[in-house]
A and B are shown apart, each in its own frame.
Chain A
Amino acid sequence: MLHAKIIDTSKNESIEISKAENFLNQSKFGAIIYFVGTVRDLNENKSVTGITYDTKDSMVIRSFEEIYEDADNKLSIKDKAVFIEHVKGYVGLKEKSIIIGVACKHRDQAFVLSRYIIEEIKKRSPIWKKEHYKNEESEWLKGISLNN
């Protein structure tokens, strides 16, 4: 069971943990883990004021679906629920940019699955970050090339 969505901050949407709780809290699961990524104030000695996220929505959602399906084959965790939301648009300090909620039967599976999903998103999902700094400059961050 997968919930995958892009949250558009320009439409005043935001990530709400309660939605993940509602989706994941089921009696067949004994372990739920939430990973929440937030905007921090310092990166490579630069004072950050916020981040603008850019996404290629259709590819991002498809990558979430593929990562979820790959978890079946690579991790053999078939009985699971996964809740993934990622923002697009501007996000201020301390605000959430991503939530990955996973529910599994046992805690070992939940920890492994949560870590697997965030690492795969970093490698596979077409999402970009533009950091904004206190000196009013901004910069697109370097990333991983998909050009093989």
Chain B
Amino acid sequence: MADIQIPEIKERIEIPNIKTGATADYKCYPASEAHMTKLGFPSKLVDNWKEKLIEKMAELLKKYRSLQVYLDICVKCGSCTDKCHYYLGTADPNNMPVARQELMRKIYRKYFTPTGKLLGKLVNAEELTEDTLKEWYTYFHQCSQCRRCSVFCPYGIDTAEISMAARELMDAIGMGQKYSNEIIAKVEETGNNLGIPGPALRSTLDFLEEDVKDTTGVDVKFPMDVVGAEVLLIAPSADFFSTPHVESLVGYAKVFHQAGISWTVSSYASEFANFGIFIGNYSHMQKIASRIREQALALKVKRIVVGECGHAWRVGYSFWNTLIGPFDFLDPKYPAPQHICELSYDLINRGALKLDKSANDEFTVTFHDSCNVARASRMGKKPGGQFEIPRALIKATCNKFVDMAEHTIKERTFCCGGGGGLLTDELMELRVKGAMPRVQALKEVIDSHNVNFLALICAICKAQFSKVLPYYKMPMEMVGGVHQLISKAIVLGAKE
């Protein structure tokens, strides 16, 4: 903790003057040769990496209209320059979204556009060198793919898309990142990011059953691998083993119990997270997701419901139908996988759950919109449901709720600072500084309303804030899930 310079929290978020190279030495560990090989990438930097990279870039430009358009149409208006939490927290100009894009765009110009070939530096076109590659590795691993910049771009240029492509390109020449690639290798082998085997999962679930029985006196089940259950629950594996994540898992179980919905988790597909998206790799995204389809079929479930996880909800909502659809085997009443918040919201609206708000009276709650839920997916039938539904759930479970400042929530929400494959210890300084804008907004409501509970629906946000808030002298205990609040407020056995 000592050697990290913690940003000062001011009255409002100030736009810093640029400090060139401020984060140039932040480096994440390279992927091991074993993991690279497992994922089908070259184990280390290939000799002809230049040709390889350009060749792969041509392929991606052809495959992804988004990439081609985004590289072509930026006018450098500057609207995005002060929108990235990493820029606001570090002042490194390469963390301005447009400058991050330029790292790829200057290579694109040199090798793919007539003006770049002809005019070179005059139009910011540059030869691909080892220095470029180093810059890429550094700064494309300082983007959490939160898409905040794209909200303010007049052309909707999405830096996430560009950083995903950059990571895909680097993987293709043997320059992978340890954190994401190790996890992808693990989930493809074991079914979850943590590498937990079935029996260990079962004993955790047993422990939770006993624990809930002890505290409530009610037999709430945590079923696993039950054929013929109505719902297959796909939760981020952190929900089984991390704090405060597990409190939300208990919440899901209580909701199912109280609504009388039979459900099960799967030991084979025990992971909702899908880090394939972080490295922009379609095949791995598909491979990771395919276990879920297999298990839904094998367990003969009628519905798929997913837990609190941000990027995974983007994958689940936006890409599952493409990757592992069609879901024609599900109950036609619930033809698409649902978010647990959607399920609980429906139940509450139908009066199927009894909630005692006073159980959460010790809390004044605020809600952090997780980036991938807020800007890359939806909940419910109406636009903006991803903002309204979690807030409606919180308001149904507690008496005191207050939103943070308008320019820091909903579609303008700030990233927690740890998303997009950056939730790794060697990037702690980046994570602490990147959290600054969110912490600033949080501090405002702590000072004005005594907020003491930060409600989340993302496993990464939960882990990141638990770790980072103490740097800002805020208690990690204030971090929790939306279903953690439901878990406390739900009245069990009260159904007539």
A-B complex is real = no
Q: Hey, which bits of chain B sit against chain A, CB under 8 A?
A: none
